[in-house]
Amino acid sequence: FRFKDSLAEDLRRADLVISHAGAGSCLETLEEGKPLIVVTNEKLMNNHQLELAKQLHRDGHVFCCNCSTLVETLQSMDLSTLKPYPPGQPEKFALFLDKVVGFQ
């Protein structure tokens, strides 16, 4: 599909997700607890997606490849090596922000 209002149901049903390295796509997939292969676009300038993909890969949460290495990644990946992504803790950020702006 070219556009869909929400991928939540698709993510819940997925056994494996292959995605670009957009922050929303990566985090939504990881928060759903699904294994993720991130395919980077090396032609983008100032490629923040590549930085995110590499960091998530270094931390052991995703497999990272480009279009030319996707088949090899699919053939060699071991999903059991992926580490679960820790859930967010927005309450900690709220407490920090309250402290910074003087509400505490």
DSSP-derived letter for residue 64 is: E
Residue 104 has a pLDDT of 64
In a domain, 1, yes or no: no
Q: Among the ranges 42-46, 69-73, 96-100, which has the highest mean pLDDT value? A: 69-73
Domain that holds residue 31: 7-101
The model scores a pTM over 0.85: no
HEC readout, 32-63: CCCCEEEEECCCCCCCHHHHHHHHHHHCCCCE
In a domain, 2, yes or no: no
**Separation of first and last alpha carbons in the chain:** 48
In a domain, 76, yes or no: yes
Into how many domains does the chain fold?
1
pLDDT digit string, tens, across residues 10-51: 999 999 999 999 899 999 999 999 999 999 987 766 678 888
% of residues, the chain, pLDDT over 70: 96
CATH code for the domain of 38:
3.40.50.2000
Mean predicted lDDT score pLDDT of the chain:
90
Residue 45 has a pLDDT of 62
In a domain, 91, yes or no: yes
